Chains A and B, each alone.
Chain A
Amino acid sequence: MLLLYSVLQLIYVILLAPLITGILIKTEERLESKKGPSVFQPYYDIFKLLKKESLVPRVASPIFRIGPYLNFSLYMLLIIILPIITGFPLTFGPTADFIGGGLIFGAASLIKKITALDSRNNYSHLGTARAASVGALADPLVVLIFILCGIISNTNNPYVINNIFQTSHSWFFSIVHLFIASAFGMIVIIETGKLPIESKTQAEFGMIDQAMELEYSGPELAIYKWGGYIKHFLLMSVFLNVFAFPFFLPMEGANFTHVIVYSFIHLGKMIILTIIFAFIEESVSKYRLYKIFDFMAVAFVITLLGVIAIYTTKGIF
């Protein structure tokens, strides 16, 4: 049965990830009083690109072609590890804890950087350097958040952390949880490149992610884009299921119907979060590149305040 849930989770995320991006784009356009593309536009883009010819720079090595598929497979591995439609570990759940999941995210990002460097495009190199600078500061912050979760739950298992926040009201309404959720929310904004960070811009002064896949075309670009949608979906799911709103997840002993019903609830949660992101994106302006570090500094401060709150109220020191 666990294997069946794993397959279900895999199909659920892979199929619905582009839809969430489509809803985000559509909502933003509607907020600007425009008609906007269909919510299924990301699917059309992927299918169009899959049918197109692939162009590879003459100087690139075979890594350039393999990279997108490796990247995508790492995200597939993450799908079957993380708590998305179940609150209990599935077949591959014990493969990695939160730190392990972070490392897999890091590996996927590393592959993207290597392929960007392999394309030998100046803009790709520029994007890689920027992404590495941001990642070098954002990743330790994520680890710090996970350590804080570890102090609360005595483990780094996302399922246990979800169960604690879901069942213990004293932890859920504690100030420590407020800080953890806020800091992780800021990390989601950084990692998904949403405004005020906006790494997807085409403008040279601010582009980060967009620059890295500049030399890609055809099926490889489609796979990279699809991987990007899955990354957004996973980060938002972790934010919702573990930190912000860890309720209604089917616990140990839940039957198939519970899991199916929760899948729809999860989709609803994702759509609400997407609409909130759309409102944020429409109401704030983009930071200049070097201001991103100020944003991360604030996220760091919030996380450290969480640590101080734990020490002052729980008497661990």
Chain B
Amino acid sequence: MEQLFLLVSCIQILLVVFIQWQVYIKKNIITFAVSSFILSLFLLQSGISNGENTLIFIALLTFFIRTIFIPRYMIVKLTKEHWRAREVAPVMGTASAIICSIIIVIISYITYTLTLYNYLHVKIGALPIAIILQGLFLIISKRNTFVQLIGYLIMENGVLFFGAILFPGLPLIFEAGIILDLLGIVMITGLINRLRENYVPDTLEEIEDLKG
């Protein structure tokens, strides 16, 4: 189980690195969908092996909302020519962003070992925290609204991962509430972005500069 948890955490971290590496927004959205799909599979497996119905329900909710609905909605709302949409001017260079991303993982590991580890006694608990911080870093390292939104969603994935594994007794209403909040944020952001695209006479670059 520990190896599986480690594998899923590392895949999640690598997928965030892949998002940092990619320029095209559509690929980033698809990568996020893959990341959510892996998370839902892990939650399902964990729920089945532990006999926790709540985890199975959350896994299904994650699959339908984060793997299918949100990515699909984002691609539809992206632009009329979604295959062309890309991050034009990120705040920092790709290589630097990738290196910073992994430094964040190391810092979160050290911080976790010195603090929360003393209470939880699970070494790999550092990795979901690293995923949360990586999502946060994605928000500040990119200018495109949709990538920033993906950063927010990745943070939320990290929180869910952390909560579901280390605190499996969390009430279902708490998790479901977060997912509904998420849905609202994504829909509102998508609408605002589409309105901006329709009413502001602009070029693609100007849309890209929209601060989230």
CB contacts under 8 Å to B, within A174-201, are: 174-175, 179
What CA separation (Å) do A298 and B6 show in the bound complex? 19
B65 CB-CB contact with A under 8 Å: no
Q: Which of A20-28, A75-83, A158-166, A302-310 contacts B (4 or more CB under 8 A)?
A: A302-310
A140 to B: closest C-beta gap in Å = 13
Question: Which residues of A have CB within 8 Å of B124?
Answer: 312-313
Cβ–Cβ contact B3 & A174, under 8 A: yes
A300 CB-CB contact with B under 8 Å: yes
- The DSSP consensus for interface residues of chain B is helix
- Contact among B13, B101, B113, B127 with A317 in the assembled complex (CB-CB below 8 Å): B113
A44 CB-CB contact with B under 8 Å: no
Cβ–Cβ contact A175 & B21, under 8 A: no
A176 to B: closest C-beta gap in Å = 9
C-beta contact mask, A280-317 vs B, less than 8 Å → 1, else 0? Answer: 00000000000101101110111011001101110101
Beyond contacts A179-B10, A297-B94, A305-B105: 17 other A-B pairs, Cβ-Cβ < 8 A, are: A293-B95, A294-B21, A294-B95, A296-B95, A297-B95, A297-B99, A298-B21, A300-B98, A301-B101, A302-B14, A304-B105, A305-B10, A309-B6, A312-B6, A312-B123, A313-B6, A317-B123
Cβ–Cβ contact A301 & B123, under 8 A: no
B127 to A: closest C-beta gap in Å = 7
Cβ–Cβ contact A312 & B14, under 8 A: no
Cβ–Cβ contact B98 & A294, under 8 A: yes
What CA separation (Å) do A142 and B3 show in the bound complex? 25
Query: Could you name 23 residue pairs across A and B whose Cβ atoms are closer than 8 Å?
Result: A174-B3, A175-B6, A175-B10, A179-B10, A291-B94, A294-B21, A297-B94, A297-B98, A298-B98, A300-B99, A301-B14, A301-B98, A301-B99, A301-B101, A301-B102, A302-B14, A305-B10, A308-B105, A309-B6, A309-B10, A313-B2, A313-B124, A317-B113
C-beta contact mask, B93-132 vs A, less than 8 Å → 1, else 0? Answer: 0110011011001100100010000000001101100000
Cβ–Cβ contact B98 & A308, under 8 A: no
The 6 tightest CB contacts between A and B, nearest first, are: A297-B98, A297-B95, A301-B102, A293-B95, A312-B123, A294-B94
Most chain B CB neighbours (cut-off 10 Å) among A179, A298, A304: A298
What CA separation (Å) do A162 and B103 show in the bound complex? 30
- Contact among A175, A296, A308 with B109 in the assembled complex (CB-CB below 8 Å): A308
B187 CB-CB contact with A under 8 Å: no
CB contacts under 8 Å to B, within A17-41, are: none
Question: Which residues of B have CB within 8 Å of A313?
Answer: 2-3, 6, 123-124
Question: Which residues of B have CB within 8 Å of A291?
Answer: 94
Cβ–Cβ contact A308 & B3, under 8 A: no
Question: Which residues of A have CB within 8 Å of B101?
Answer: 301
What CA separation (Å) do A119 and B105 show in the bound complex? 46
B173 to A: closest C-beta gap in Å = 32
Question: Which residues of B have CB within 8 Å of A315?
Answer: 123
Cβ–Cβ contact A312 & B126, under 8 A: yes
Question: Which residues of B have CB within 8 Å of A297?
Answer: 94-95, 98-99
What CA separation (Å) do A315 and B106 show in the bound complex? 15
